[in-house]
């Protein structure tokens, strides 16, 4: 079965003045996969996400999504094509209610006549029924993360980028979040690419892991392969840890 990857990033480079944040990064994501993007702080993961989702313009490289070259596309066009994302620091619509927030996303595919059904559906799936009328600025972190996910989900994406969506959640919240992602992945066939520090989430969810360090992709493979990869350990814990391990 030869199917094109849903996302194909080739030699992506993003510079800020003289600082090279992402250096010739290449990786692929297949339909229906959950791919994890990990790496030490400052490795360039969010920059990579921003470049893919259209918020940054890369200096070099190409991004192919669903077979189309979206490298210089504006974010809203990319969303129309089927990719949406959440943000590392939740960027809620502070003064809007949960329901209205989701509605904004739902308008991506629906119009005034049938948008309400979609809104109701997403609110149910993301377990936001109790707080649907509450204003975002009154919500706690876990709820805000759900809202971020919900509004991105409402755009009916075929691929979702989650940027550190698991950060700051306690064990119960994390488990629920992971279940939700699994469900969306299996039932709605949504492909996921998640930037994560929470290893439990990465190891538990991802079929493929891509490791970024100082702007470069240093490894990619299954969770098992990655956890045994010398370069990865080096990146996280330094050369001495590898040395100690080999003793």
Catalog residues that contact other proteins under the rule CB under 8 A. 53-55, 74-76, 78-80, 84-85, 87, 91-96, 100-101, 103-105, 107-109, 111-112, 115, 151-152, 154-155
Residue number, 103 or 208, with CB nearest to other proteins: 103
Write down the least CB distance from residue 77 to other proteins, Å.
8
Write down the least CB distance from residue 131 to other proteins, Å.
18
- DSSP string covering the chain: -----SEEEEEEEEEETTEEEEEEEEEEE-TT-EEEEE-STTSSHHHHHHHHTTSS--SEEEEEETTEE-TT--HHHHHHHTEEE--SS----TTSBHHHHHHHHHTTT--TTTHHHHHHHHHHHTT-GGGTTSBGGG--HHHHHHHHHHHHHTT--SEEEEESTTTT--HHHHHHHHHHHHHHHHHS--EEEEE-S-HHHHHHH-SEEEEEETTEEEEEE-HHHHHT-HHHHHHHH-HHHHHHHH-
Write down the least CB distance from residue 201 to other proteins, Å.
22
Residue number, 29 or 219, with CB nearest to other proteins: 29
Write down the least CB distance from residue 106 to other proteins, Å.
9
Residue number, 193 or 235, with CB nearest to other proteins: 193
- The partner residues of 160 in beta bridges, in order of sequence, read 84, 192
Write down the least CB distance from residue 98 to other proteins, Å.
13
Residue number, 86 or 220, with CB nearest to other proteins: 86
Residue number, 106 or 219, with CB nearest to other proteins: 106
Residue number, 54 or 61, with CB nearest to other proteins: 54
Write down the least CB distance from residue 71 to other proteins, Å.
16
């Amino acid at each position: 079965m030869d199917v094109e990857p849903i996302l194909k990033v080739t030699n992506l480079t993003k510079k800020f003045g003289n600082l090279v944040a992402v250096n010739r990064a290449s990786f692929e994501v297949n339909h229906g996969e959950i791919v994890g993007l990990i790496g030490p702080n400052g490795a360039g993961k969010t920059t990579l996400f921003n470049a893919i989702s259209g918020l940054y313009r890369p200096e070099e490289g190409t991004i192919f999504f669903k077979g189309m070259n979206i490298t210089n596309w504006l974010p809203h066009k990319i969303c129309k094509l089927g990719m949406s994302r959440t943000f590392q620091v939740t960027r809620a619509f502070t003064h809007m209610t949960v329901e209205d927030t989701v509605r904004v996303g739902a308008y991506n595919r629906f119009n005034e006549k049938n948008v309400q059904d979609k809104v109701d559906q997403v609110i149910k799936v993301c377990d936001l029924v109790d707080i649907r009328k509450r204003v975002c600025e009154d919500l706690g972190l876990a709820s805000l993360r759900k809202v971020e996910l919900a509004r991105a989900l409402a755009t009916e994406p075929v691929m979702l980028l989650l940027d550190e969506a698991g950060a700051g959640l306690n064990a119960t919240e994390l488990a629920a979040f992971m279940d939700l992602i699994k469900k969306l992945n299996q039932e709605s066939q949504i492909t996921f690419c998640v930037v994560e520090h929470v290893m439990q989430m990465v190891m538990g969810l991802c079929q493929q892991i891509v490791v970024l360090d100082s702007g470069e992709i240093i490894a990619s493979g299954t969770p098992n392969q990655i956890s045994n990869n010398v370069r990865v350990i080096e990146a996280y814990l330094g050369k001495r840890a590898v040395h100690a391990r080999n003793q």
